[in-house]
Chains A and B, each alone.
Chain A
Amino acid sequence: MRWNKLGKIFDPTEHKLPNGCLEFAQSPQALVLANRVRVYFSTRSRDQVGKYLSHVAYVDFARNMREILDVAKHTVIELGGLGAFDEHGIFPMHVFDDGGRVLGFTTGFNRKVSVGVDSSIGLAISNDGGRTFQKHGTGPIMAASLHEPFLIADSFVMSIGGIYYMWYIFGTKWKSSSENEPPDRVYKIACATSVDAINWQRDGKQIVADRLGEDECQALPTVFRRNDLYHMYFCFRPCHGFRNGGNSYRLGYAYSHDSISWTRDDSKAGIDLSQDGWDSQMQCYPHVFACEDRVYMLYNGNEFGKSGFGLAELV
């Protein structure tokens, strides 16, 4: 794999965003439409107590990805009500073109007390081409389960032979680096399958090998098929001290012949930090899609995408 970086293509501070959001355009996710590429992202407002709330918005690009056509000014999907799993933010929302409708797989956040948050995966459906989404129920389609005790998040869905495959992450532990530090989370990539996109079969098994040991955090898998192989990009980092510097997110890579068993080989990722600039300290939240016979990767750079996202093209 070799990727040609096209630089940062969207800066949230240069646009008026819905829901009073000012900064962050995290985890870009593409929906390829007939006359545009709609890129969803999570941006942030602050609530009454000054804490962040992540909201979903989108920006439309021309199909050559060179020109911004429009930025959503409306609420794309509402946050949940009191006590709901997505009360305190949706980040990210993965979109899947399901024929006559668009499915939105949300990662909803709810704030907790001993640990900062928990998350679960919800389903929302758009019947207006992805402009707005209505939730399938108040609760999640994938929440904590017996062997996935918390932090279910980051779906990516693909249809293979009439079956929906979802790659996602689940939490394995919360762990403090020292007695006085709040606990940090550890999460791993897994796979679930479904015939209706609502009820999912899963077994709580990690599918991508650790490179940094058992406390490695793996997030946001994105999968595509090319040359008879399945390719997965994701981001990974150590458990502690990850907000800046050497422990920041990097992009990882794995491949598979059958979409089930994966071989990790980050050396083949073909993309790395830049010498300087917007993605020189961190690369995270990759999303790969194809448009007009080109394969693109959207991703975030420094500070988890506070100042936007960029694009690379597969050479």
Chain B
Amino acid sequence: MLQWEKLGKLFDPRDHKDHPWMREFAQSPSTLIFDDIIRVYFCSRPAPDEKGEYKSYIAFIDLDRKNPSRVLRICDKPVLELGGFGTFDEFGTNPVSVIRHENQIRAYYAGWTRCESVRFNAAIGIAISNNNGETFERIGEGPVLSYTPHEPYLLGSPRIRRFNDTWYLWYAGGKRWIKTASRTEPIIKLRLATSSDGLNWRRDGVDLIEDKLDEDECQAGADVVERAGRFHMFYSYRKSQDYKGKDGGYRIGYAVSDDLMNWKRNDELAGLGVSADGWDSEMANYGHLFSLDGETYMIYQGNEMGRTGIGLARLQNCPDWFKP
């Protein structure tokens, strides 16, 4: 089992009153390392509208590379505008995952649209930055991963990685919608798409991780790293209903693979659980791993699906199976 030293909460948008578009939530953290800083992208929300509906924007903060708990800068405005009337990302850009490619930075994100019978739908788009990630522009008005006969709705939670010359996009695919007493809930499972250019994707719609809770378990946020000759996935899973509190809320799971397609689930090895009290006492989720200056970190979101902000943990042990 991995052991993590929790370094505490890094950033809570509720502490910063001068960004109304970033009033609460810091979700889906994703990092880029620069010479002096660690830039952390995440998704944040303004106050909900009169019907209680949220929009979500992509933001970033810069951390001091020498002291990652120190926030040096908070971006002033969203790095990407929302889409126009009728587009897949008209009502939100969330979650997000960023990666460098040549002189550009690419953001893979899920767009939110709102529907009548179900609460929303999502598809995955790409935006590119030519100014070191200060702002992004979408590469087209439509999504890059859209619905197919066997992936009929809800493509979200993208996590982008590149191993050797192949691009890998883990995402959550909607299997079905269920109706609860008060609302509709999607059942989402982790899937993989592969690409030689990061733009045109192949996918077969296979669920990667076997269910643990029940067949309605929801899985999202799959981050994969290569260590000791194998691939290690850290993802989040929860119940399909009543998941906004401690009982049914997201936990960080773990699986290992030799070929990136066949995964063996062993959640206990992840080693990062909820705290006894505080900002991550009900939920720890959407973990993203990065290595920096000889250390391994996991950045993750806390209670209420990240409403309370994001925090950082540093790996304390390094078992043979996880040696860099």
> Which residues in A have some Cβ–Cβ distance to B below 8 Å?
81-85, 87-88, 110-115, 118, 120, 122-123, 135-141, 143-151, 171, 173-176, 183, 185, 198
Contact = CB atoms under 8 A, between A and B. Distances in A.
A198 B174 CA distance: 21
A144 B85 contact: no
Nearest to B89: A149
Contact of B86 (A82, A147, A148, A174): A174
A136 B149 contact: yes
Given A115-B85, A149-B141, A175-B85, A139 B114 contact: no
A143 B143 CA distance: 10
A82 B87 contact: no
Contact of A144 (B88, B117, B118, B139): B88
A149 B123 CA distance: 11
Contact of B144 (A83, A146, A176): A146
Given A137-B148, A146-B139, A149-B141, A173 B85 contact: yes
Contacts of B118: 82-83
A198 B90 CA distance: 29
B142 A83 contact: no
A139 B173 CA distance: 12
B52 interface: no
Contacts of B150: 137-139
B146 interface: yes
The 9 A-B pairs at the shortest CB distance, nearest first, are namely A137-B149, A139-B152, A146-B140, A174-B85, A149-B142, A111-B116, A113-B114, A149-B141, A138-B152
A146 B85 contact: no
Contacts of B90: 114
A146 B115 CA distance: 20
B143 A144 contact: yes
B288 to A, nearest CB: 26
Contact of A139 (B86, B140, B151): B151
Contacts of B84: 173-174
A52 B186 CA distance: 25
B226 to A, nearest CB: 30
Contacts of A176: 85
A87 B117 contact: yes
Nearest to A150: B86
Contacts of A143: 146-148
Contacts of B140: 145-147, 149
A115 B86 CA distance: 6
Contacts of A114: 85-86, 90-91, 114
A185 B116 CA distance: 18
Nearest to A144: B142
A87 B147 CA distance: 14
Nearest to A122: B149
B323 interface: no
Contacts of A88: 116-117
Given A114-B86, A147-B140, A85 B152 contact: yes
B93 interface: no
Interface string B175-201: 011010000101000000000000000
B115 A112 contact: yes
A144 B123 CA distance: 9
B53 to A, nearest CB: 9
A128 to B, nearest CB: 21
B238 to A, nearest CB: 19
Interface string B106-132: 000000011111100101000000000
B85 A147 contact: no
B114 A141 contact: no
B114 A83 contact: no
B21 interface: no
A174 B83 CA distance: 12
Output the residue of A136, A139, A140, A148 with the most chain B CB within 10 A.
A139
A82 B146 contact: no
22 contacts: A81-B177, A82-B118, A83-B117, A83-B153, A83-B154, A85-B153, A111-B115, A111-B116, A114-B91, A118-B113, A139-B147, A139-B148, A140-B152, A145-B143, A146-B139, A147-B140, A149-B86, A149-B140, A150-B87, A150-B88, A150-B142, A176-B85
